Amino acid sequence: MRGQRLWVAQHHLVWATNQLEQWVRRLAREQGGPEPEPDPVLTALRDALEHLDDAVLDEDIASAGPGKGNRALRKLPESQLYIGTFGSHRMFGLVDPEDIERRALAIVTTADRLEQQAEDYVHDLMARGDWPPRDGDIDEEP
């Protein structure tokens, strides 16, 4: 049971990290900055997990099998995914959890910077006398 919970937690972490990458790229686009390149291994891993039901399963390995099916697994080394719960420090044998932690900490720094920008904006509004809004400045619903 412990191994199953570990597998599920790793699965969720891969999906969440992939989503985080997408939102970081979106933020960069919205701010007019350069978009960071997506991690190709993380993207392939997320895709392989999404299409795991198409894989050939053998003990602790999911493989693409013969034919042209399961393109996601074919993007991984040896067209295989380690799905065992023990025996590898890396999640699914591919992703270092410490790397995921470093990425998350970098985002926290970004969030702190965005919060500071918002605070600076409000202070600027207050200094100009534009905050708080005066009666009639806010659209109110009847």
pLDDT in tens, 66-82: 777 778 888 988 888 88
Q: What is the pLDDT of residues 11-38, one digit of tens each?
A: 899 999 999 899 889 988 998 999 999 9
- Pairing verdict, β 80-82 and 61-63: antiparallel
Contact 103, 118 (CB under 8 A): no
Cα separation, 63 vs 67, whole angstroms: 12
pTM to 2 decimal places: 0.69
